[in-house]
Amino acid sequence: MKPAINKGEYFITGDIACAQGALAAGCRFFGGYPITPATEIAEHLSVKLPKVGGTFIQMEDEIAAMASVLGASWGGVKSMTATSGPGFSLMMENIGLGICTETPCVVVNVQRVGPSTGLPTQGAQGDMMQARWGSHGHYEIIALAPSSPQEIFYQTITAFNLSEKYRLPVLIMTDEMVGHMSEKVIIPDPKKIKNISRRRPKGRKDSFKLYEPGPDMVAPMPAAGEGYNIHVTGLTHDTRGYPIINVATHKQMMTRLIGKIRTNLDDIIQTESYRLDDAEIAIISYGISSRTSLAAVEEARKRGIKAGLLRLITVWPFPEDKIKQLAERVKGFVTVEINLGQIHQEVQRCVGGKVPAFLVGDFGGTIIPPERVLEVLEEAF
pLDDT tens-digit map of 199-244: 999 888 988 999 999 888 999 999 999 999 889 999 999 999 999 9
Q: How far is residue 298's CA from residue 371's CA, in Å, rounded to a whole number?
A: 12
Q: Tell me the CATH number for domain 8-192.
A: 3.40.50.970
**In terms of DSSP bridges, do strands 8-13 and 182-187 run parallel, antiparallel, or are they unpaired?**
antiparallel
Contact 275, 323 (CB under 8 A): no
Residue 346 vs residues 197, 314, 330, 342, 354: alpha-carbon distances, Å = 32, 14, 17, 7, 14
Q: What is the mean pLDDT of residues 84-92?
A: 98
Per-residue confidence band for 2, with pLDDT thresholds at 50, 70 and 90: confident
Are both 8-192 and 271-380 of the same fold?
Answer: yes
pLDDT for residue 381: 79
- Residues contacting 63, CB < 8 A, separation 6+: 90, 91, 93, 94
pLDDT for residue 1: 66
Decide: residue 109, CB within 10 A, 0-12 exposed, 13-18 middle, 19+ buried. buried
Residue 289 vs residues 57, 305, 307, 379: alpha-carbon distances, Å = 33, 20, 16, 20
Q: What is the mean pLDDT of residues 2-12?
A: 91
Q: What is the mean pLDDT of residues 281-285?
A: 98
Please give the single-letter amino acid code of residue 285: S
Average pLDDT, the chain: 96
Q: Give pLDDT tens digits for 327-348.
A: 999 999 999 999 999 999 999 9
Q: What is the mean pLDDT of residues 17-42?
A: 98
Report if pTM > 0.85: yes
Decide if pLDDT at 356 tops 90: yes
Q: How far is residue 119's CA from residue 375's CA, in Å, rounded to a whole number?
A: 27
Q: Where are the domains of the chain?
A: 8-192, 271-380
Q: What is the mean pLDDT of residues 63-83?
A: 98
Lowest mean pLDDT among 119-123, 207-211, 347-351, 377-381: 377-381
Fold of 271-380: Rossmann fold (3.40.50)
Q: How far is residue 163's CA from residue 169's CA, in Å, rounded to a whole number?
A: 6
Q: How far is residue 325's CA from residue 131's CA, in Å, rounded to a whole number?
A: 25
